Structure 1
Amino acid sequence: MAEYWFARSAARSWTCAPAPARVRAFHASLPGYAPTPLTELPSLAAELDVGRVFVKDESARLGLPAFKVLGAAWAVHRTLAERAAAIGTYAAGPVTLVTATDGNHGRAVARTARVFGLRAHVFVPEGVHPEAARAIAAEGAELTPVAGHYDDAVRLAAEAAAAPDAVLVQDTAWPGYERVPGWIVEGYSTLCAEIDSQLAAAAVTGPDLVAVPVGVGSLAQAVVTHYRSRPAQRRAPALLAVEPGAAACVTQSLLRGERVSVTTGGTAMAGLNCGTPSSIAWPRLRDGLDAAVSVTDAAAFRAAGDLAALGVSAGPCGAASLAGARAALTGHDATERRTALGIGPASTVVLLNTEGAAANPATLPG
């Protein structure tokens, strides 16, 4: 599987508007809310030849093994609030939340539906591990298997959500469907706000590099929005997107200079196995990312094992950030890539571990 690499020099001078400040207050009001850990790992700093490495550990977020519930909860809250304003109550009748998923998002929507007393209908494409599908069903959701890839499941979910009592809660956008995905991205801003507070408590002014795993690009959009909307006097970090080589839709779009779809292959990084960047994410990724790199399943599994040995639970999707940092900062092209990212021996690196091992029970074939 070929490795793809993209870098540009102008991203750190680009700016955008921030996410709404009230998002974190909403999450703080939810039962069981607490900031997820930001764990420092000195041995990784030594390996990557940087000053400090921190892992934002999303392996236990509001009772689920991934960050996705931040976006799902905020988007459903906003959707129900608008519905209440339109019809005078939170729900005039039974409401079904409909979505497609490659794992974590579907479970987050199903959990949110249960919390809000709603129903959930989740479309699951090929390649999602049966245990991940069972976890979604255990939340009380209706499950529909799809004989196709993620994009096929999204299309079928959108068709099902045309029913009058249904609401599509999808974490990818396309022309004509952008408000709800936009709210999902806003929900992810809480993760970045927590990092700011946690780095400040560790006497760090801010990261020099943030590595983020990418599927359709919604979390990366939130990361770009956060770090490209900060006051001018604050240091702008380099932002690195990491994808499976079998589904490098964002990297391929960056290389071609336009949003494109790619044919995806099999990958253990099921949550990143997406063939088309979100329409609302793409402009921010195009303008705000410094670099993008693809990694192999073997590299992701190695990273997951290394994180586990250091006390951090990570599935292959979450560990992709470490695999991507290794690809960017070590190896035969390291000097050129480190220069492009502005990374030196005193730099601070933040890796986003987006899921715990329990979220993705896949194992290497053979």
Structure 2
Amino acid sequence: MTDHVARNASPLRTLAWYERPSARTWRCAPAPAEVRSFHSSLPDYSPTPLTDLPPLAAELGVGRVFVKDESSRLGLPAFKALGASWAVHRTLAERASNGAEPGPVTLVTATDGNHGRAVARTARLLGQRAHVFVPQGVHPRAVAAIAAEQAQVTEVPGPYDEAVRLAARAAAAPDAVLVQDTAWPGYERIPGWIVEGYSTLCAEIDEQLAVAGIAQGPGLVAVPVGVGSLGQAVVTHYRSRPSERAPALLSVEPEAAACVLESLVLGEPVSVTTGETIMAGLNCGTPSSIAWPCLHGGLDAAVAVPDADSARAAADLAALGVSSGPCGAAALAGLRAALTGVDADVRRAALGLDPRSVVVLLSTEGTAANPHSPVDPC
């Protein structure tokens, strides 16, 4: 079966949509089991909530909608600490096993906010140094939060991809290590560890759905994507299982930075010129090289949404008691876009949704993680 691309006209706008009918048959190896054990050993670890929201299920015409609420993860307001903590653990352990000189190293990264703060927090807790490159457009409060973790912060007068380039150059210094959550040819091992760290989030969902009486798992998972690392983790988790348990997987991006959607449409990874968006953590122009094969093979569908839809979704989640910034609320905005407007019934069928379906939305950050959030109490 062939992939399908649509730009569906509606009274308000055109929907950027991609679907791959064969995605649920694609398979890959699972993440290492020891990741969850590592996170469970951390003193401030606890599973984040999986919140059942019946009003959303009624609105969307499905059986149940759960939101995985990452507004407080290992002391930070986003899921990124899972990847940063595991990758830094592996990096430092490898350096020690290779006989590296004792003493602190500088962990270098580029960020739109959450990943950099997670790396800086991990460095501070482990007695290491951090140097974080921040692209243009990141809110000053997000920059201040990174600096408050005792990190050196360099603000870059350019987009995210330029910040990554400068961070990689800085990491060439002695006793410095690049801990970046995107990969490119020649730099893939540490980003792979970051992706492995995110697998804990998916393992928690399995356990929490089982407690809720849903042993078969979800029928659909909607995940916000930037460079695609979390998307890779989600695809890896659900596509390493028997086919009868495979849910539909939907990626959601800002219209201003839809590099994964554009790459899927073209059938190869491409870079796009990004614009301004309140979904700052998703404002990325190039897919991760290690994420791309998983996204291309295992995503059922991809959609891009405007800022207004994400803002509305964040406000609606807040009204239901879930703190979600614009990036996290993108999952709800994307699913709404898929299930409304012209050809909505066709898209619903492609996703395999019916009135009994169980949907999981990944809300990847709380309002405190994104000062642009329209529901930020500050």
* TM-score clears 0.5: yes
Do structure 1's residue 72 and structure 2's residue 72 form an aligned pair?
A: no
Contact persistence 1:96–1:165 (CA under 8 A): yes
CA displacement, residues 264-305 of structure 1 (integer Å, 9 cap, x when unaligned): 000000000000000000000000000000001000000000
Partners of 1:363 and 1:214 in 2: CA distance? 18
Distance 1:231 1:57 in 2: 27
Residues 1:330 and 2:340 aligned together:
yes
User: 1:158-213, CA deviations, whole angstroms, 9 ceiling, x for partnerless residues?
Assistant: 00000111000000000000000000000000000000000000011210000000
**What one-letter code is carried by the residue in structure 2 that aligns with 1:222?**
A
Aligned residue number for residue 350 of structure 2: 340
Match of 2:287?
Answer: 277
1:13 corresponds to? 25
Aligned to 2:188: 178
CA contact (8 A) 2:39 2:45 kept: yes
| 1:104 lines up with 2:119 in the alignment | no
CA distance in 2, matches of 1:64, 1:116: 16
Q: Which amino acid aligns with 1:230?
A: R
Which of residues 52, 64, 86 in structure 1 aligns to 2:98?
86
Matched, 1:257 2:301: no
Matches within 5 A, 1:143-158: 143-158=153-168
Give, in whole Å, the separation in 2 of the partners of 1:312 and 1:199. Answer: 18
Structure 1, unaligned runs of 5 or more? none
2:8 matched residue in structure 1? none
Within a 5 Å distance, the mapping from 1:220-235 to structure 2 comes to: 220-232=231-243, 234-235=244-245
Shift of 1:110: 0.2
Percent identical among aligned pairs is 76
Runs of 4+ residues deviating >6 angstroms: none
Distance in structure 1 (CA, Å) of the matches to 2:255 and 2:151: 31
5+ residue gaps, structure 2: 1-12
Q: Answer yes or no: is the 8 Å Cα contact 1:241–1:289 preserved in 2.
A: yes
Aligned position for 1:56: 68
- Equivalent pair of 1:2/1:245 in contact (CA under 8 Å): no
- Secondary structure at the aligned position of 1:126 is classed as coil
> SS at 1:4's partner residue?
strand
Say which is worse superposed, 242-251 or 339-348, in terms of deviation.
339-348
The answer to whether residue 229 in structure 2 is matched with residue 218 in structure 1 is: yes
Alpha carbons 1:48, 1:326 under 8 Å: kept: yes
Q: 2:317 aligns with which of 307, 311, 321?
A: 307
- 1:2 CA drift (Å): 5.1
Distance 1:237 1:124 in 2: 36
Q: Is the 8 A contact 1:300 1:319 kept in 2?
A: yes
SS state of the match for residue 68, structure 2? Answer: strand
The counterpart of 1:194, out of the listed 201, 204, 229, is 204
Contact in 1 for aligned 2:325/2:373 (Cα 8 Å) = no
1:207 corresponds to? 218
Contact 1:3-1:245 within 8 A present in 2 as well? no
Cα-to-partner distance string for 1:136-176 (whole Å, 9 max, x where unaligned)? 00011000000000000000000000011100000000000
Q: Secondary structure at the match of 1:20?
A: coil
Find the counterpart in structure 2 of residue 44 from structure 1.
Answer: 56
TM-score, length-normalised on structure 2? 0.94
| CA shift for structure 1 position 112 | 0.4
Distance 1:78 1:329 in 2: 41
CA distance in 1, matches of 2:15, 2:246: 27
Aligned residues: CA RMSD:
1.0
Give 1:301's aligned amino acid: A
Paired with 2:15 and 2:131, the residues of 1 have a C-alpha distance of 36
What residue in structure 1 maps to residue 10 of structure 2? none
- 2: CA distance, partners of 1:111 / 1:316: 23
Preserved contact between residue 15 and residue 337 of structure 2 (Cα < 8 Å): no
| TM-score normalised per structure 1 | 0.97
Give 1:332 deviation, angstroms.
2.5
> 2:367·2:373 contact (CA, 8 Å) conserved in 1?
no
